[in-house]
Amino acid sequence: MEREALVIGINRYPTLIEKASDRPPHLQAPAIDAEAIAQVLETYGKFHVERLPAAYNQDGSWFVDPQQQLTIKELETAIVQLFNPPGRSIPDTALLFFAGHGLRKDIGGVIEGFLGTSDTCPLMGDWGLSLDWLRKLLQSSPVRQQIVWLDCCHSGEFINFHDADPGSFETKDRCLIAASRGFEVAYEDLSSNHGILSAALVEALKPENHAEDWVTNYSLVDLVQQQLKTARQRPIFHNTGGEIILTGQKEKIDRAVLMAEFCPYKGLAAFEFNDSDPKYFYGRTALTDSLLENLRQGNFLAVIGASGSGKSSVVKAGLLYQLKLGKRLGGSDQWVIKIFRPGEHPLQSLARVIGYGEELATAEELLNKGASGLTQLVQTTLRSLELSHELETDANTQRFILVIDQLEEVFTLCQNERERQRFFECFLGALNNSLLTVVVTMRADFFGKCAEQEYAGLAQKIQANLITVTPMNKKELTEAITQPAYQVGLEVQRELVEQMLADVEGPGTLPLLQYTLTELWRKREVNRLTLAEYSRMGGVKGTLQKRADEVYDAFKTKEEQATAKRIFIELTHLGEGTEDTRRQVFKTDLINSQQSAAVVEQVLSKLADARLVVTSELQARGESEKTVTVVDVAHEALIRYWPKLRSWVTENRVAIRIERKIEAAAEEWESKNKSKDYLFTGPKLAEAENFLQEYGELGLLSHLASEFVQKSIQQRRRNKWFQLGAVASFVAVVAIGAIASTIFGLESRKQEAIAKEQAQNAKQQAENAKTQEARATKFAEESRQQEAIAKQQTAIAKTQEAKAREFAKESRQQEGIAKQQTAIAKTQEAKAKEFAKESRQQEANAKNQEARATKFAKESHQQEANAKQQAKIASLREKGANIKYQLSVQTNVEQLISAIQATGESQSSLNKVLSEVQSSLSEAIESVHERNIFLGHTKSVSAVAFSPDGKYIVSGSVDHTLKLWDTNGRLLYTLNGHTESVSALAFSPDGKYIVSGSGDKTLRLWDINGKLLHTLNGHTESVSALAFSPDGKYIVSGSGDKTLRLWDINGKLLHTLNGHTESVSALAFSPDGKYISQWQWRQDTQVMGYQR
């Protein structure tokens, strides 16, 4: 670890005069100060020190020469060589000390500071070395630890509060000290021949003046400030980044630690808040600074990041450790800090972290009161510590820091929604107490859970006080690899660092990095970590293989192992002439009929905890409140070098390619509003069907892809029915012709049709008629058009006759129909010709018919209505015949649906059901069997309910479970909780909730995602009937205990309705929600009102 120091002390200033008669302002102390600093750095700091201006002692050693001069060019060259050396290795630490004259140039209100050199002459425009130039040099310098101490007048211009840090916080550690403010001069102590600042620095750099065994930039500043608190001049200090070891007996400590076999890496564990871990926590300086600054300004902090990003470590070993030191925030070393994880019962966990022994019961009792109880508990704890003198009493700076680590446990482990709500209300409400500060860490993919309920404004609080933990950059990763090793005297080969950086970039890699470094430490060569050993271990790749096998083998059930297998296959992108790579998938796409949401969530949680996969949240574009969870592998090495995954991919490569094609087509179909034009047909559909037969057991298809294939199959079936039903279309056309013929033959086959047309003409002529002759001419034109229509129908009849003959060859049944319709067509043709002839005759007599038209107008309306009814009858009869024909070809539920629709049409239009329609319905009911069989329950199904929108079905069973299905028969969720048979079910009117009743005497309220919200206790016998109120706010339940009970949607019992003599068998609310109708076995129906 190279540590370079440039120490400068300039006494001689021959040209620094304002006028020719002035004596040169030579100095006495700078050379002495510089030499004293140099000797301390060499003795205690292991620095390689260069002195300027320098001379040899008689013993051959160098010293700072008080008689030599130093030019600006020499000074500039030396400083560049220190901080930005061309063509040589970069030191890890670079220190510049300057003692001499400082100058301040103020022209036109523009103020500049300079370091004076021996050739400085303001009269000639030579002001010395610019402090602004020095600041820019540091900004561009690659040196990681930069130290600049200036003991000269006006040196504060280098550290002004507009440019406090000359470079970036992210990659540099800096210690900047100036002897005085920009407008002040610096003084020498005549009694000691030292500058005021230099004398304090020399003493503060000596390890014996510190309680620790070494001096850091932070402890140096503390001691210098203490020494100079009564001094006339006021030095300026500026520390940023991490600690810089300046002096001490560090090498002795390093050897002692190494001999004690202390591993500076954490494996897969997080860094903890203790005395040892923070000393080896590196790479998060900038993030720690950001956390400290946010905590300075507020009392709530949410640290959110991907799985494996180091959230807990940076809070515990970064933020909390700095608070304990008390050097970054005033008085923070006296703050009370409590850390806990929520667990299954978060309020109890909170009580345990605050109360001990007999105090635990008191703590739990107070927390049950909510926010006021927590506030009282915080105040009591602080007072108790002050009375026992464990804390210094300072009400202005005292704070109680409560760290809730892994907040996602409130959602994953705590199953009681009410307890969850109370926990959030408790600590968020107590934030009004200025003494309490809350810091939470949480995986980013759980933020959506925070927004599902109001939770006392949790989501809004997190958004307003959010710090996101992003992946480390290369500089930070290099620190995380090398600095812990240096702390225990280990050397890390540069080549090893470069290779590890190439292997572990990306989110979620920090635990894997630590795990690999831990293994390297165990197999180290005495005092160094080598690339050779890393290669023998297989690097991060070899470590991952071992870890992945351990995690997979830990899954106990075949279902979990199958789900894990499918997840890893889905996260693998098949290369086309290249290696397979990683791919991100939405978590929702991993859920299908074979892998339920509950199992996928459980397996993903274990894989994420093991750092094998990473989950994160993405915001939907243009929708600020909508996010989706994305899953990714922790490292691509899993795909390339984990043998188990490689074998899965190799064995199923063909299936995966087909599956990806189906998924891509399904996504396109969805993007086109699920248009039938984008469904599979022909060879593509055949390939998809073969895929389902050969590889369906793998469960690779998502819900969307499965729906896409099923819709494609259904569309092909409809197309086939359409082709087979071509003759049925012909029947419809001919039937319409027959109906038209019938209409024209009623009462007067000639006059009726004419009257109808004349009635229409009369209606139009009533508005715009001018003369009888014009109306007659109009009617004549209509008659000619009718003749054209008749000719057209003649042509249609001939065409349909040919089609009927052709179809007669294919179907015996249709042959008879075709012959019959052929005869009808011939008859119609003759009638049409007759009608044409009569139309021509009527054209000649049109004027005479006008008077009669008025008479027939009224009658024609009735005739028109009769004609429409006849057309409806013919259409329904044709539908009945078509349904029967289709049933003879293939029995499907579509025919049953058509029969039901035809029955409804008949009833609504004719107030009766035609015998032909009735018989088609009967035949359909007899012929059509169920379309989907919902398999899953292990015992008989005891209750079923449809969601109001018709998209979902919930079933209850004697096996004590509920199962939620979609209408295609896919199982979405299995709802466990009841201990006896499920006896009653109901959906809320908005379809968001399901209530179930059971022989275990309870009601249970679930959301549509299968999550248990409330368990409603009260009945003493089996629950036999359930109903939601129309507004969805209330639930009524009936039971074998002969009572009705009214509940609100939150599970609160509002009323118990007694007086029944038998078990309540059925329930219903009135449409306005004011009354409840109930039916008892062996009793009449009763209606009762109630008050909410």
Domain with CATH 2.130.10.10 in the chain: 941-1089
pLDDT over 50 (residue 38): yes
Domain with CATH 1.10.10.10 in the chain: 552-651
pLDDT one-digit tens code per residue, 462-484: 988 999 888 889 999 999 999 99
At the topology level, CATH places domain 552-651 in: Arc Repressor Mutant, subunit A (1.10.10)
Say whether the peptide bond before residue 1071 is cis (omega within 30 degrees of 0).
no
pLDDT of residue 578: 54
The answer to whether the CB of 984 falls within 8 A of the CB of 1025 is yes
pLDDT of residue 196: 86
Q: What is the DSSP letter of 185?
A: -
Q: Which residues are within 8 A (CB) of 1047 and not within 5 positions of it... i.e. 6 or more apart? A: 1003, 1016, 1034, 1035, 1036, 1037, 1053, 1054
Percent of the chain predicted with pLDDT > 70 = 71
- Edge-first strand order for the sheet with 627-633 is 585-586, 627-633, 613-619
Domain with CATH 1.10.8 in the chain: 474-544
Q: Is 0.95 topped by the overall pTM?
A: no
Closest CA to 689 of 670, 712, 668, 667: 712
Tell me the mean pLDDT in the region 594-600: 88
Domain with CATH 3.40.50.300 in the chain: 284-469
At the topology level, CATH places domain 941-1089 in: Methylamine Dehydrogenase; Chain H (2.130.10)
pLDDT of residue 140: 84
DSSP per-residue letters across 624-668:
TT-EEEEEEES-THHHHH-HHHHHHHHHTHHHHHHHHHHHHHHHH
pLDDT one-digit tens code per residue, 260-280: 357 888 876 678 999 889 999
Q: What is the CATH number of domain 3-248?
A: 3.40.50.1460
- Given CATH 1.10.8, say whether it is the number of domain 474-544: yes
Tell me the mean pLDDT in the region 912-922: 56
What class, spelled out in words, does domain 284-469 have in CATH?
alpha beta
The answer to whether the CB of 713 falls within 8 A of the CB of 685 is yes
> Which of the four pLDDT bands, split at 50, 70 and 90, describes residue 620?
very low
Tell me the mean pLDDT in the region 780-800: 51
pLDDT one-digit tens code per residue, 980-989: 999 999 999 9
Rounded to 5 degrees, φ, ψ at 192 are: -120, -5
Tell me the mean pLDDT in the region 833-856: 57
Tell me the mean pLDDT in the region 669-673: 89
Domain with CATH 3.40.50.1460 in the chain: 3-248
Kindly report the average pLDDT of the chain as a whole number.
Answer: 78
pLDDT over 70 (residue 206): yes
pLDDT one-digit tens code per residue, 423-468: 999 999 999 876 899 999 998 877 888 888 888 889 889 988 999 8
pLDDT one-digit tens code per residue, 1027-1086: 999 999 999 999 988 899 999 999 999 999 887 777 887 888 888 888 887 665 444 445
The answer to whether the CB of 1010 falls within 8 A of the CB of 965 is no
pLDDT of residue 163: 44
The answer to whether the CB of 996 falls within 8 A of the CB of 961 is no
pLDDT of residue 397: 66
Tell me the mean pLDDT in the region 768-788: 50
pLDDT over 70 (residue 794): no
pLDDT of residue 134: 92
pLDDT one-digit tens code per residue, 543-594: 777 778 888 998 888 899 999 999 999 888 876 555 676 788 888 888 888 8
pLDDT one-digit tens code per residue, 814-834: 444 445 545 544 655 565 466
Tell me the mean pLDDT in the region 787-809: 50
DSSP per-residue letters across 949-993:
TSSEEEEEETTS-EEEEETTS-EEEEE---SS-EEEEEE-TTSSE
